[in-house]
Amino acid sequence: MKTIQFREAICEAMSEEMRRDESVYLMGEEVAEYNGAYKASKGMLDEFGAKRVIDTPIAELGFAGIAIGSTMTGNRPIVEYMTFNFSLVGIDQIINNAAKIRQMSGGQFKCPIVFRGPTASAGQLAATHSQAFESWFANTPGLKVIVPSNPYDAKGLLKSAIRDDDPVIFMESEQMYGDKGEVPEGEYTIPIGVAEIKREGTDVTIVSFGKIIKEAYKAADELAKEGISCEIIDLRTVRPMDRQAILKSVKKTNRLVVLEEAWPFGNVATEITYLVQSEAFDYLDAPVVKINTADTPAPYSPVLLEEWLPNSTDVVKAVKKVMYK
């Protein structure tokens, strides 16, 4: 094993797949000459050249469409958005073309493409640069949605996403690019759609994904001091969701808290809540509690932003609520 940063895990995954398959290429704003806005493509222009590492204008709709069209001629593009907030400019191409090409062509064309970049908040970036769109994309048949929380998962899942024959939304975080973690020296992949129990427990299940799962770890450490044992599940893939992993854990602990950095109405946590009440209702010893951001655009003020975001204190309170403590 070796220890690398999250950004290096992303770079290694893309580079290894580009060496493996000449049809893979990377395009996006500042991915080439600048080595990526977050240095996640550092050195790739030097290795692969300007035909496979392509700087684009600030025109998300245009380069999303170019990349999607190129899949129909045998290519496997990786499109980097500087943030998924900017993907809204190109969302017509993602939803109405990438997600539907296979069905609307009667299976004649597939669309092997990865759209990747940071999601959700990253400090004082204000309302239009702090949005989480996992549930938007996951609501769309034809798309797969991956949100890793550490370098190991990021590299293994990105390699699988690049090899997948369907469009994949791969969501990262500006605040995770510097995170360090161990990854194997050799080749490995992680299957899409498989959650992982990051911490075994017996009293309550906490389901989360992405960078906000760190707050669950903090809360679990605090709760352990009080004798409360938390099982933490990292979804890793939002769609397809590993339903059985969630249900199996809830049937063991009989309690569920869902932690998600997203607006509270109609999100991933809502889907999980419905799943558990419909398929494991008799196992529940308490109502499911979901923890989300406040139901407002993200504030710029650091004081308000701290209140707006879920944190470990919220998780502790939620766990004690389902434990009736």
Enzyme catalytic residues: 60, 129
Residue 14, CA atoms < 13 Å, CB-side half-sphere: 32
Q: 60 by DSSP, 3-state: which?
A: helix
Contacts of 311 (CB under 8 A, 6+ apart): 215
Q: How far apart are CA 232 and CA 48, in angstroms?
A: 40
Where would I find the beta strands (DSSP E) of the chain? 2-5, 24-28, 53-55, 76-80, 114-118, 144-146, 168-172, 180-183, 196-199, 204-208, 230-234, 237-239, 256-259, 289-291
Question: β-pairing, 76-80 with 24-28?
Answer: parallel
Nearest to 238 by CA among 197, 204, 280, 192: 192
Other Cβ atoms closer than 10 A to 162: 25
Where would I find the beta strands (DSSP E) of 6-137? 24-28, 53-55, 76-80, 114-118
